[in-house]
Chains A and B, each alone.
Chain A
Amino acid sequence: MASASVIDVGRPVARPRSLFSRLRGGLQGTEYAWAIAFCIPYVGVFIAFVIFPVFYGLWLGHSPSLYIELFHDPIYQQTIVNTILYLAIGVNVKMFFALLLSGFFMRKGWWVKGLLMVYVLPWAVPALPTFISIHWMLNTQWGLVNNVLWDMFGIDGPGWLDTSRWLALGSVITTYIWKNMPFWTVILLAGRMAIPQELYEAAEVDGATGIRRFIHVSFPLLANLYLVCTLLSTIFTLGDFNTANFISGGGPALSTHVLATLGIRDAFEIARPQLGVAAVLSSLPLMIPLVVILMHKLRTSDVQL
């Protein structure tokens, strides 16, 4: 009633804003022109480098016959299995050990800080030279690994990248974990550091120490961050070309390709860009749900640090 009485005293009723006015976001005169002018470069770049390539890619790979050809190709079938293994093992092993190591790096002491600096080096150094170095180190005949095995134990090491699909894929996954684990360790370390100390003290009073403290305090508070990191990492890894390309090159006998490297092979080595784009687009049924779940998790606010 009070509000009605306010209206009754004769205050003018606010007129609803017109559509044009709403579109202008309340900006007046030159403010609006300047806002448009400042937006134009960004919109132009966005259209040229995001919208256009995405739609051009979709157009290139739109023919169903490309997917029929792909699904009948044994190399593609093998590539799908490799990609799933690469994601499932590579991402999860990496994230799990990153979670554990982030706990280790919470310890106090100057030597822990020093060790952390050394530990992040694989992530900090440029990717391609390190991948090429590892590729050389795994060379059967003159690589460092087999030479060390020969010099120290007198045994001929295996052909790491030469004949066995599993050894080569294992080398790719191991290198991927070695290269990327430090980054996610640091992210999870930052998450751990944000947990208030009082929670641990209260848990200790209740008798939660050691592994129980991790299970009942640390992990529930880190779970959302861990899941978001795992989803993000899966999305990054799905498009990872460098590791497989520079470690195994998709060999031996095309048996360790992942979707990103197969797409490049089909597009540029076989000179069939449409087929290459189709190979990459075939990851969308996995990629889109991942992005949707990620967006959903980013909006979740039930457990926040």
Chain B
Amino acid sequence: MTQITRRTVLRNSLAVAAVGSLARPFIANAAAKTATVWWTQGFVPEEDAAFKKVVEDYQKQSGNIIDYSLIPFAPLMQKIVSAITSSDVPDLISHDINDAVLVPQNAWDDKIVDATDVIEAQKDKLHPTILLGTQYYNNVSKKRGTYLIPFKTACVPLHIWSSLVEKAGFKVADAPKTWDAFWDFFKPMQPKLRETIRNVYAMGLQCTTTGPADGNNMFNQFLIANGGNSIITKDGKPHLDDPTVKEAVIKSLSYISKAYKDGYIPSGALSWNDADDNNAFHSKLFIADFDGTISTEVAIKDQAERDDVTTMGLTNGNDGKPMPAQLGIGGAFIPKGAKNIDVAKDFMKFLIQPTVINDYLKNGLGRWIPPYPDVVKNDSWWFADPHRKPYTTEALVDPTVPGYPVFNPGWAEVNAQQVWGAAEASIIRDGTEPKAAAEAAFKKIEAILAKYPIVQS
């Protein structure tokens, strides 16, 4: 038996170190063709399977390797924030709220690689709102650049349990065509349904202080319906003193908080996260809600039950005119410090090809929509289903606007801080007047946006 001595330990350690040093160039060379990718896990298994297929196809075609991790929504957010903070980053990151939270702030801080060259070949095909929604401001270069590589889009449609409406003696087709009146339509149904069902509510408006997205999406649509879309403009300037904006904010806060206080919204909505309202919808806790994507419909496996859900695009605004929907832009970004930028870019160039992205999103059951209007117009699949049709129409056919964080990264923090949800909660819990709650929200927004002075070119 060989005796272990100090000399043998030292000699073997030196040998291992030497082999490691000599082998390193070859290991690095092998890794040059591999990109590390973090991707959001889908809501349904089909989305993940679709992504894996895209990766396989790319690897076959390019010879490169995509070393991917499919990570659930919340843990991925933590992983990304930690990675960027510690500068130990992957080569490519896709998160479903990249556009609203992660990219605005990190583009501002010059922590993202400009991807103008990646989207160049597809630029003309992109929906104009989506193209606008990729242009974030960089506070180091003092100009905007393409920091989000868009490959999918989504809007926020209306979801209604038709059977509950009918049970209450109404018809979905009779729903009014203006925003507040539409929501008022469900109120008289609640007492009728409660004659036989103990816990059922008219609407699932997410007046929540828990993020990340639903409460902000809902409030923003109320704001737009009341004429307040100019609260922040393309140049990144807020217009909180504009009387129209002020009035729109107060009207929106008033409607939502009154509906809650009158008992038309489940009391737990104050703390709902983005999954809670989906769960509440599935348990028929309320008749209708306004929730991003068609994830609620896609998650229902029983065809008859899925058919019971009516998916609708937006009504008109409260002035009776068509109002734009806010588009969510699903995209990826390449963080600075990534080791294999070329492979990451090459993979994204492959993914955003119209045919590739169309197949990918169709295989994912159409929860997200391609960012190219012509692709969906030329593929009847997107309009062949009663849920996809209104959803796709709202996103790519009807008027749209991008999310506010693209105009000013401070708005990402406004969203993350749930400023509107906090204002609603203050009215509901503390009895604050809507006007005072709006003023408090404006002050908070001003303080946040003051940290992000955008130089006008």
Let me know if A142 and B283 touch, CB within 8 A.
Answer: yes
Known A270-B416, A271-B81, A271-B102: A252·B270 in contact at CB below 8 Å = yes
A115-155 to B contact mask, C-beta < 8 Å, 1/0? 00000000000000000000000011110000000100000
Let me know if B270 and A269 touch, CB within 8 A.
Answer: no
Interface-forming stretch among B61-69, B120-128, B332-340, B421-429? B421-429
Interface residues of B in 45-82 (CB under 8 A from A): 74, 77-78, 81-82
Question: Which chain A residues lie closer than 8 Å to B199 at the CB level?
Answer: 141-142
Question: Which chain A residues lie closer than 8 Å to B85 at the CB level?
Answer: 60, 273
Given the complex of chains A and B, what is the CA–CA distance between A287 and B267 in angstroms? 37
Let me know if A140 and B82 touch, CB within 8 A.
Answer: no
B212 touches A (CB below 8 Å)? yes
> In chain A, what residue has the closest Cβ to B280?
A141
Counting chain B CB atoms within 10 Å of each CB, the highest count among A249, A270, A273 belongs to A270
Given the complex of chains A and B, what is the CA–CA distance between A268 and B416 in angstroms? 10
Interface residues of B in 243-274 (CB under 8 A from A): 266-268, 270-271, 273
> In chain B, what residue has the closest Cβ to A267?
B81
Let me know if B78 and A141 touch, CB within 8 A.
Answer: no
B105 touches A (CB below 8 Å)? yes
Known A140-B267, A252-B271, A253-B271: A271·B416 in contact at CB below 8 Å = yes
Given the complex of chains A and B, what is the CA–CA distance between A142 and B209 in angstroms? 22
> In chain A, what residue has the closest Cβ to B276?
A249
Given the complex of chains A and B, what is the CA–CA distance between A279 and B18 in angstroms? 45
Interface size counted on chain B using CB atoms at 8 A: 37
A155-168 to B contact mask, C-beta < 8 Å, 1/0? 00001011100000
Instruction: Give the shortest distance, in Å, between A46 (CB) and chain B (any CB).
Output: 20
A34 touches B (CB below 8 Å)? yes
Our pick among A162, A271, A272 for the contact of B267 (Cβ within 8 Å) is: A162
Instruction: Give the shortest distance, in Å, between B14 (CB) and chain A (any CB).
Output: 14
Instruction: Give the shortest distance, in Å, between A280 (CB) and chain B (any CB).
Output: 14
B417 touches A (CB below 8 Å)? yes
Our pick among A37, A150, A161, A269 for the contact of B271 (Cβ within 8 Å) is: A161
Given the complex of chains A and B, what is the CA–CA distance between A71 and B268 in angstroms? 29
A254 touches B (CB below 8 Å)? yes
Given the complex of chains A and B, what is the CA–CA distance between A254 and B413 in angstroms? 16
Given the complex of chains A and B, what is the CA–CA distance between A248 and B272 in angstroms? 11
Given the complex of chains A and B, what is the CA–CA distance between A30 and B285 in angstroms? 74
Let me know if A161 and B81 touch, CB within 8 A.
Answer: no
A33 touches B (CB below 8 Å)? yes
Given the complex of chains A and B, what is the CA–CA distance between A267 and B82 in angstroms? 9
Given the complex of chains A and B, what is the CA–CA distance between A249 and B211 in angstroms? 11
Let me know if B270 and A251 touch, CB within 8 A.
Answer: yes
> In chain B, what residue has the closest Cβ to A274?
B85
Given the complex of chains A and B, what is the CA–CA distance between A33 and B13 in angstroms? 14
Instruction: Give the shortest distance, in Å, between A254 (CB) and chain B (any CB).
Output: 5
B23 touches A (CB below 8 Å)? no
Chain A residues touching B, range: 20 to 34
A73-93 to B contact mask, C-beta < 8 Å, 1/0? 000000000000000000000
Known A140-B267, A270-B413: A163·B81 in contact at CB below 8 Å = no
Question: Which chain A residues lie closer than 8 Å to B413 at the CB level?
Answer: 270, 272
Our pick among B198, B273, B283, B425 for the contact of A253 (Cβ within 8 Å) is: B425
B94-126 to A contact mask, C-beta < 8 Å, 1/0? 000000011001000000000000000000000
Known A163-B429, A271-B416: A251·B78 in contact at CB below 8 Å = no
Let me know if A141 and B266 touch, CB within 8 A.
Answer: yes
Let me know if B77 and A268 touch, CB within 8 A.
Answer: yes
Given the complex of chains A and B, what is the CA–CA distance between A142 and B85 in angstroms? 41
Let me know if A271 and B101 touch, CB within 8 A.
Answer: yes
B301 touches A (CB below 8 Å)? no
Instruction: Give the shortest distance, in Å, between A255 (CB) and chain B (any CB).
Output: 8
Question: Which chain B residues lie closer than 8 Å to A248 at the CB level?
Answer: 271
Let me know if B271 and A249 touch, CB within 8 A.
Answer: yes
Let me know if B81 and A268 touch, CB within 8 A.
Answer: yes
| Other A-B pairs beyond A249-B271, A252-B425, 16, CB < 8 Å | A139-B268, A140-B266, A140-B267, A159-B267, A162-B267, A162-B268, A163-B267, A163-B270, A250-B271, A251-B270, A253-B270, A253-B421, A254-B209, A268-B77, A270-B417, A273-B81
- Could you jot down 5 A-B contacts, CB within 8 Å? A139-B268, A163-B428, A250-B271, A252-B209, A268-B81
Closest 8 pairs (CB-CB, A-B): A251-B271, A253-B425, A162-B267, A141-B199, A159-B267, A270-B416, A252-B270, A33-B6
User: Which A residues fall within an 8 A CB radius of B?
Assistant: 30, 33-34, 37, 60, 139-142, 150, 159, 161-163, 248-255, 267-273
User: Which B residues fall within an 8 A CB radius of A?
Assistant: 5-6, 9, 74, 77-78, 81-82, 85, 101-102, 105, 198-199, 209-212, 266-268, 270-271, 273, 283, 285, 412-413, 416-418, 421-422, 425-426, 428-429
